[in-house]
Amino acid sequence: MFQNGASLRLLHDALLTIANKYSWTLQAWSVFANHYHFVAAAPNDASTLTACIRELHSRTAAALNRYENTPGRQVWHNYWDTQLTHETSYLARLHYVHQNPVKHGLTTNAANYPWCSAAWFEQTASPAQVKTVYSFKIDQLKIPDDY
């Protein structure tokens, strides 16, 4: 669906903008042709997640369908969310989402993939934070991601 740089940029920018609108503080994100992942700190009213995702899907589907001249096509089919309550799970998922472009074979260095947070994270976090997050194992995580 989001097959080229322009459409990936559309989804990427919409995710960052709409999450901010609903006061979800993104801490890691990766955007791909047919799915995305993010880790965010919830606002005081975490029930806004449904409205946030609904707006993200609605706006990006409409824009993509205009761009590809495919009115009415269903772009998004579902979403999953998980409340991260354990620090180790949280840190492992940060690592997983930052490095997801590597998992999908899109790059050998996630910081070079323009539609994810790896470069931002590596530039803004302290070296100790980067080392800590990237030290968490991700091979045992059970995350639906076979797209």
CATH code, domain with 59: 3.30.70.1290
- Pick 93 or 144 by higher pLDDT: 93
pLDDT over threshold 90, residue 127: yes
Residue 147 pLDDT class (50, 70, 90 cuts)? low
Residue 92 falls inside a structural domain: yes
Q: What is the rounded CA–CA span in Å between residue 86 and residue 92?
A: 10
Residue 145 falls inside a structural domain: no
* SS3 labels along 75-139: CCCCCCCCCCCCHHHHHHHHHHHHCHHHHCCCCCCHHHCCCECHHHHHHHCCHHHHHHHHHCCCC
Considering its fold, how many domains does the chain have in total?
A: 1
pLDDT over threshold 90, residue 138: no
Residue 143 falls inside a structural domain: no
pLDDT over threshold 80, residue 145: no
Residue 141 falls inside a structural domain: no
The per-residue pLDDT of the chain, averaged, comes to: 93
Residue 72 is part of which domain span? 5-135
Q: pLDDT tens-digit profile of 51-84? A: 999 999 999 999 999 999 999 899 998 888 989 9
Find all residues with CB under 8 Å of 106, minimum gap 6, and list them.
Answer: 32, 113
Q: What's the pLDDT score for residue 146?
A: 65
Residue 74 falls inside a structural domain: yes
Residue 37 falls inside a structural domain: yes
Residue 146 falls inside a structural domain: no
